[in-house]
Structure 1
Amino acid sequence: PPLGDSDDLLIGEWAIAIGNPFGYLLADRNPSVTVGVISALGRDVRPESGAGQQQVWSNMIQTDAAINPGNSGGPLVNARGEVIGVNAFIFSGGGGGSIGLGFAIPIDRLKRVLGDIVEFGEIRRPWTGIHVTTPPVRNGVPPRGVRVVRVDPGSPAERAGFQPGDLIVATNGRPLRTSLEWEGRLLDLPSGEAVDVEVEREGRSFRLELIPADDPLRRASRISTPFGAELVVVTPTIASHLGLRSPTGLLVAELSLDSPLRRTPIGVGDALLALGDHRLDTADDVEVLIETLGSGRPFVLYFEHEGAVRRYCYRMLC
């Protein structure tokens, strides 16, 4: 079937879910359909996945077309037969079946993701350099917009003129309510496509043009090591993007399954800061690190983990 446009959906229009629910019980591979309407748009939801689940699905389509086990991954289509979403999950109230709360991934997001995979072989995540929070509810009135708390140096947001304290109230004419909604809209934006952002600052309302770029970590060169670690030289932009306290260092971007670093407190996302009194700031310092770790001599390695500087001592007391 042809692909539709999830940005053009209207609440109340027909929605048809296609899949093969409980097909393993029916001994039948023929698909079935259920019919309902678009119940809501732009939903931010947490799937029922057990205790401690923190994952949030942003900007989802809600439908009352019955989505049952086996429907996930099937298309959600409109009355013209155009695919408008991909069936994802339901809220069942603990019963295991549909109670009229089904959710689908918007087709526009899928089109962007598939386009990235075909063209680049991976998903390119847009980067703006804006860090936002949802303002608190005051006097029972829901918040309006999202507040900018930090702008990464050298980022698209800094170039566009955003400042901490700005209130972002709309993007491309669509009002914003929460930080989750902001993140959800970023997921659907290709890098390099301009976004019209409505901003309020010190009583003034104006617009800024924001052009997302590729994630700075994706653009950064990785340095392979004999001990199974992929390292990236930390820059102020990368540090601000990741929330690192140190503006320099060597970021652990990846660890192989058999890397000896997995037997230490150091993990992916940590920044190696110094080897003894030798700072680790540049690609040349990787050679010092490789030589020391391979020598078997005692050493102290300082690293940043979750905002705190820690140390790992090898064959010596600290």
Structure 2
Amino acid sequence: MPQSAFRRSGAKMPYVPLVVLLVLFGGPAAADGVAFKPSVLQSVVSVIPVREPGTPKPQPGDVRGEERSGSGVVIRPGGYIATNHHVVLNARQVFVRLADGRELPAEVVGSDETTDIALLKVAEALPPLALGKEPPLGARVCTVSDPFGMGLSVTCGVVSAVRRTGMGFNMIEDFIQTDAVLNPGSSGGALVDGSGALVGLVAAIFTRSADANIGVNFAISTALLSRVVDDLVAHGEVIPAYAGFRLTALPRAERRTLAGLRIAAVESGDAAERAGFRTGDVITAIAGRAIRSRSDALTAIYLHRPGDRIDVTVMRDGQGKTLALDIPK
């Protein structure tokens, strides 16, 4: 059996007029169709990075390489467009193509490799998508992106999972998993719900050996997207939060009865010590998010900003306890 490989989604082909394809998934319910608002198309763009001549093309299996083109989503008023870091990586110029075919130069406001999110800005007012809530499992969703550089396309499916971390793409991940078809060039596209609200930024596909879609695709949650975009607008970079403790996995035998991470050390005089955390405490939840792995904990902390107060649930001496952690400014 071939090894599984993680792949970004990005490619370049000549521009062709707008294509809208509705791909319906599931059993009998699929016959009823998936609600989609065509107005969403006005808030999604093709992203065209221009690099120095001779820049090598990405090779199959290269998950950290540059993409030849991608997609973007108008995320807030003022011409701000969110896309993926790997789409604009090492670009000397960036252009965006609107649904009507016009191409505009774009400024890279900032880019966060840790989450694979980049923020662009154009000198034209474009309609931003409203931000939706985390969708429930099984909810119908649609992607809008520019696969293979063919023009904006729509594919639809369901939410397969939420709050996926540790998938191996980025240091910090908070993915919505969907079976909606994605292909090279879809990176940075929109994942929207039935009301047309943005619920995720298309980021990556999981494939066996090439770029073919196998129905395991990922979009960055709007919670993480908003967190990063706010900092890129304000600072040009993300100012990360720091908790003040080190975590380690539980022994396998202990995981039979308890899920979480053990605090291996608490920084002396830091926020965690002031909040009452102790070495040996087992963290089971951070800000309401269940903690099962180190990647869960990293994401839960990264979603917050310096100065935030978050509730952390721990197990100590067999008893549950909630501690308030003030993230240092």
Q: One fold, TM greater than 0.5?
A: yes
Matched, 1:46 2:46: no
* CA displacement at 1:60 relative to structure 2: 1.3
TM alignment of 1:229-248, pairs within 5 A: none
Letter in structure 2 aligned against 1:211: D
Q: Is the 8 A contact 2:174 2:224 kept in 1?
A: no
- List aligned pairs for 1:5-44, cutoff 5 A: 5-6=132-133, 8-23=134-149, 26=150, 30-44=151-165
Q: Which consecutive unaligned segments of at least 5 residues does structure 2 have? A: 1-127
Residue 129 of structure 2 aligns with an amino acid whose one-letter code is P
* CA pair 198-46 structure 1, distance change in 2 beyond 3 A: closer
Give the drift of 1:32: 0.3
| Mapped partners of 2:276, 2:265: distance in 1 | 12
The number of residue pairs the alignment matches comes to 202
What secondary structure does 2:147 align onto?
Answer: coil
Take 1:120 and 1:132, find their aligned partners in 2: how far apart are those partners? Answer: 29
Larger radius of gyration: 1
Instruction: Report deviation, 1:46.
Output: 3.5
3-state SS of the aligned residue for 1:126? coil
The 3-state SS of whatever aligns with 2:227 is: helix
- Identify the structure with bigger relative contact order (alpha carbons < 8 Å, sequence gap 6+): 2
Q: Take 2:289 and 2:135, find their aligned partners in 1: how far apart are those partners?
A: 14
| 1:159 aligns with one of 274, 290, 297 | 274
Contact 2:192 2:199 in 1 (8 A): yes
CA separation in 2, counterparts of 1:36 and 1:22? 20
Matched, 1:205 2:326: no
Distance 1:200 1:84, change over 3 A: same
Question: Normalising by the residue count of structure 1, what TM-score does the alignment of the two structures yield?
Answer: 0.59
Q: Is the 8 A contact 1:19 1:72 kept in 2?
A: yes
Spell out the pairing of 1:1-318 with structure 2 (5 A cutoff). 1-6=128-133, 8-23=134-149, 26=150, 30-47=151-168, 55-138=170-253, 141=256, 143-214=258-329
Paired amino acid for 2:210: G
Mapped to 2, the partners of 1:173 and 1:97 lie a distance apart of: 36
Which secondary structure does the structure 1 equivalent of 2:165 belong to? strand
Instruction: Name the CA distance, whole Å, in 1 between partners of 2:255 and 2:314.
Output: 23
- Structure 1 vs Structure 2 CA RMSD: 2.0
The Cα shift of 1:92 comes to 1.2
CA distance, structure 2, for counterparts of residue 179 and residue 142 of structure 1: 18
CA deviation after TM superposition for structure 1 residue 198, in Å: 1.2
- What is the SS of the residue equivalent to 1:115? helix
3-state SS, counterpart of residue 207 of structure 2: coil
CA contact (8 A) 1:168 1:198 kept: yes
Give 1:152 shift.
Answer: 1.2
TM-score, normalising length: structure 2: 0.57
CA distance in 1, matches of 2:211, 2:257: 33
For 2:252 and 2:258, the matched residues in 1 are separated by 5
2:287 and 2:300 in contact (8 A); partners too: no
What CA distance in whole angstroms lies between the structure 2 residues aligned with 1:166 and 1:88?
35
